[in-house]
Structure 1
Amino acid sequence: MSLKKEERIEIRVSVEDKEVFKKAQELSGDRTFSGFIIRILRMQAERIISERDKIIASDRDRKIFFDTVFGDQEPNEKLVAAAKRYKSRFTAK
């Protein structure tokens, strides 16, 4: 599937940055400089998005998390019992 390229991005870089980018492109085996830049930028963008999504996968998960941590719910019997066991084992006697 070939996507038609309709958008254009223009950036200005220092001479030093461009030299580094060109050297990396040559070493990478990418045939074109534009192709190299697009590939690297896409990889980094996907990595950033993936890392963010790992932290909180969705708005629903975020709501569940914050409601659980900061909500007004009372602890259930199992949690109360676990806390008592912990206190009895680890408090100074």
Structure 2
Amino acid sequence: MAHAQRRESASPARRRAERLEARVTTEQKALIERAAALEGRSITDFVLTSVQDAAKRAIAEHEVIQLSVRDSQAFVDALLNPREPSKRMRERVAAYTARVGDQ
């Protein structure tokens, strides 16, 4: 009964309304079942948690720029000691300003 109450009181954001399906080999399914059992979780919980973690990592890898120490130092140096704009850059800025105006 407590389980039924918990399901009914679940927030709309937590209700699972979407379906995700995948075809797997017998070996893949056995591997997933074993891993889920070792962690004492259902296959669904294990798969969803694993996929969600992998999705977050993939997004972070594409959103975060990681620089080596040398590249970080070069970046900071460029910010602290910017080069003078070249003649071509000054011409481009003047052309842009003439076209768009100084806002």
Question: Relative CO higher for 1 or 2, CA cutoff 8 Å, sep ≥ 6?
Answer: 2
CA RMSD in angstroms comes to 2.4
Runs in 1 of length 4+ with deviation above 6 angstroms?
none
Long gaps (5+) in structure 2: 1-9, 67-82, 86-103
Q: TM-score, normalised by structure 1?
A: 0.56
Q: TM-score, normalised by structure 2?
A: 0.51
Is structure 2 residue 22 aligned with structure 1 residue 8? no
C-alpha distance in 2 between matches for 1:9 and 1:55: 31
Code of the residue aligned with 1:45 in structure 2: it is A
Which residue is 1:21 aligned to?
32
C-alpha distance in 2 between matches for 1:13 and 1:28: 21
Q: How many residues align?
A: 59
- Partner SS, residue 48 of structure 1: helix
Is structure 2 residue 45 aligned with structure 1 residue 35? yes
